[in-house]
Structure 1
Amino acid sequence: MSPVIQDFTYHRVPVADGVSLNAAVGGSGPAVVLLHGFPQTHLMWRHVAADLAADFTVICPDLRGYGASDKPVENGQDTYSKRTMAADVVALARALGHDRFALAGHDRGALVAFRAGLDHPATITHLACLDVLPTLDMWDVMHGVSAAVGWHLYLMAQPPGLPEKMIAAVPDAFFAAFLDDWVKDPSAIPAEFRAAYLAACREAIPSIVADYRASAGVDVVHDTADRARGARLRMPVTVVQQDWGAALGYDAVALWRPWTDDLVHRTTTAGHFMAEEAPKEVAHHLRELLAR
């Protein structure tokens, strides 16, 4: 039996034509939506969600194309654009009775959250992004041999066909590489959750690749247009990151500040999977954000 977030109720919610999302919901109070990253599912938020549920209604969905949510066939990059995935999240929250909500995302989920903040400023009250840069800035800082850390970004940016075949040949080895390489405390991801992540990824190779492909295409187009028009996140924003800037030679705060009116930037000594490795720290940062 697959693991679940204890004491949360599971829902399957239609959000777009032919697309429904799997979501775990718990607690009561103002709504907070938590979006997972790669190569994970909503389960990565289990500790933080339990903490926040004492004071908030917490909604933890599987993103379109991931976990137990629907995985539509890629029909152009808009199928898995962050704009489309952000619209899913807004529709999900509204279907559950929340026209306004706070939003936190990790990794891929943080890119969806960032897009939701730009596209739906009247809906998103607070925004947290964990361990990413905005898509446009991410590509700008990837250069030279330091770009090797993002080798998967370039693989999955290729046209449909070859990336999917290559990953499908060794799916567990491919996805496990990130769980192993990006974690500082392997015990933070117990065997049953690791197995659940790998099983979910095996079933989602085309949609995961499509998500990444969009980030090398249409997502860049959307970010470029927003940068040109001076778009900014108008809600309070918290960014929590590892100190990748020091390692790769960029100033993360300087990259985030042009996108935001109200920024708090924190660095963590936890690994990439900080919501599992340092859940009390992450919950603290989110509670501080929600109090602003």
Structure 2
Amino acid sequence: MLTTFFVVLIVALLIGAWHYSVPLGRWLYRLRHRAELNKTDLRPTRVTLDGIEHHVWLSPQSDKPVLLCLHGFSADHRVWLPMARYLQPHFQLVCPDLAGHGATGYSSDWDCGMPAQTQRMLALMDHLGHSQFMVIGNSMGGLLAAHLCAAAPERVSAMMVLDPAGVGSPEPSVMQQMLAVGNNPFLIDSDDDFRRFLAMTMARPPYLPGAVVRALAADYRQRKPALAQIFADFHRADAAIGDALDSIQTPTLVLWGGQDALIHVSAAARWQEATGGVCYIWEDLGHMPMMEAPRRTASTVMSFTKDMITV
């Protein structure tokens, strides 16, 4: 009986250690990525832009309208995968990992500000042979989408922004209040820091095993110096869209989660008024609608663009 007890205890301890293992978490996260990618027609390629080898996930060449998908700060192309399977029957998708992010990697020599990222994305679309395209962006990616519309309005036929950055909100968000006292939630020092940060990003986050959370926390800790520099580049004076937002004539869809803790929903009115766009506030969601409600977000995008799609 005692032997059985110790065997069970040892097995339980091993399972517990395995559950919280960082290597296991990284393996599970890679497995999840492959499973989500296999539900799409996206395939990886590499494109050198501004001397940087960018990793980009592409749909096969087709006559469908091209949709450039721009992720937010500290994220990568994976944020689009839950929604991609709903969009791919209607669009040819282009999902890059921006400089400083994901598989594209990071170097302290790279400029990760909005003007530089804008020129890289225009060069990417040139390289792929897309003279005209639609763009969708979340957070920092939403701001980058606006910069693309301002820099090359003749090339962008529609813009969809999900909780975009770059415009001051009348009411401060939780993150703005943290930044005001010198605490940047993206700069992680512990597992608990990461759990608090993760709770700020989504009101309806997908389930993540404890090992995956620990692995992601470890990756954020490792990336802290890089993220600090990219955050500074992203918040330079030349990153703000400012008055250029009022000049954008591109048909625009604005989606915002009413529970967004990173960028307060009160900023949505400025985006709508400046662009004359269509705006939806989803009170049950947070900062990342494409991950929290991928089918709903995709359906709204398709409804918005249906009259622009001629193929």
Q: Normalising by structure 2, report the TM-score.
A: 0.73
Q: Give the distance between the partners of 1:131 and 1:57, measured in 2 at CA.
A: 23
Q: Note the 1:53-132 alignment, pairs <5 A.
A: 53-74=88-109, 79-132=111-164
Please state how far the C-alpha of 1:180 moved relative to its aligned partner: 2.3
SS across alignment from 2:101: coil
Q: Is the 8 A contact 1:74 1:207 kept in 2?
A: no
1:122 Cα offset (Å): 1.4
Which residue of structure 2 lines up, in the alignment, with residue 137 of structure 1?
A: 168
Structure 1 CA distance for aligned equivalents of residues 218 and 267 of structure 2: 34
User: CA distance change for structure 1 residues 212 and 183 in 2, over 3 Å: closer, same or farther?
Assistant: same
- What's the Cα RMSD here? 3.3
Q: Which range moves more in the overlay, 21-30 or 273-282?
A: 21-30
2:20 maps to which residue?
none
Separation of aligned partners in 1, 2:300 and 2:123: 26
**Equivalent pairs, count:** 268
The 3-state SS of whatever aligns with 1:95 is helix
Decide which of 27, 39, 44 is 1:10's aligned counterpart: 44
- State which structure, 1 or 2, has the greater radius of gyration over its C-alpha atoms: 2
Instruction: Name 2:23's counterpart in structure 1.
Output: none
Say whether the 8 Å CA contact 2:135–2:156 is kept in structure 1.
Answer: yes
Q: Which residue of 2 aligns with 1:31?
A: 66
Are 1:178 and 2:213 an aligned pair?
no
Quick one: which of 228, 231, 236 aligns to 1:217?
236
1:273 aligned to 2:291?
Answer: no
The percentage of counterpart residues that share the same residue type is: 22
Q: What is the DSSP-based 3-state SS (H/G/I as helix, E as strand, rest coil) of the residue aligned with 1:45?
A: helix
Out of 286, 298, 309, the position equivalent to 1:283 is 298
Q: 1:271 to 1:121 in 2, by over 3 A?
A: same
Q: Distance in 2 between matches of 1:175 and 1:38?
A: 15
CA distance in structure 2 between the aligned counterparts of 1:196 and 1:98, rounded to whole angstroms: 37
Contact kept in structure 1, 2:187 and 2:227, CA below 8 Å: no
Matches within 5 A, 1:196-235: 198=217, 201-202=220-221, 204-219=223-238, 223-224=241-242, 226=244, 231-235=246-250
SS in 2 for 1:223: coil
Tell me how far apart the structure 2 counterparts of residues 92 and 236 of structure 1 sit (CA, whole Å): 22
Change (3 A) 1:172 1:123: farther
Evaluate the alpha carbon distance shift between residue 155 and residue 287 of structure 1 in structure 2; reply closer, same or farther with a 3 A threshold: farther
| Gapped regions of structure 1 (runs ≥ 5) | 158-162
CA contact (8 A) 1:156 1:212 kept: no
Structure 1 residue 252: deviation in Å?
Answer: 3.9
1:236 aligns with one of 243, 251, 276? 251
Ranges in structure 2 where 5+ consecutive residues have no aligned partner: 1-26
Residue of structure 1 in register with 2:278 after alignment: 264
CA pair 61-249 structure 1, distance change in 2 beyond 3 A:
closer
